Structure 1
């Protein structure tokens, strides 16, 4: 079992993305999604990233909370 503590920086590292504070902020600003789109449906993920996110959501563990935080951040500008 992984000893990596689930945090946004660790999530970005696991996804192979820039995990610096600036990198995370830039990614979120540049990848806002429509309200109706699920985080795992977003076209900017690779298949591996999509699978990782899906597994973490389904696990309903500590990682699911961090993925949910990212999901909320990616929907900040959306309007239903």
Structure 2
């Protein structure tokens, strides 16, 4: 059972990304998505990250709200 707080910092860790404030801000500065691209289709995800995003959104999992926040930050 996942009992971690569901926030951007922990989502970055869940995705295997550096979740320091500086690294998260650098990620947002370096990556953006066109309005017509689904978050999971972004070319910068690996297969595991893509699968986690797709599955979390499909199942409306606890992470889905934070994934939506990530999506908004990349637009």
| TM-score of the aligned structures, taking structure 1 as reference length | 0.88
- Alpha-carbon deviation of 1:29? 1.2
Runs of 4+ residues over 2 Å off in structure 1: none
Q: SS where residue 52 of structure 2 aligns?
A: helix
Partner of 2:19: 19
Q: CA deviation at 1:62?
A: 2.8
Unpaired segments ≥5 residues, structure 1: 76-80
Inter-partner Cα distance in structure 2 for 1:48 and 1:8: 18
TM-score normalized by structure 2? 0.93
What is the match of residue 57 of structure 1?
57
- For structure 2, the 5+ residue unaligned runs are none
Aligned to 1:7: 7
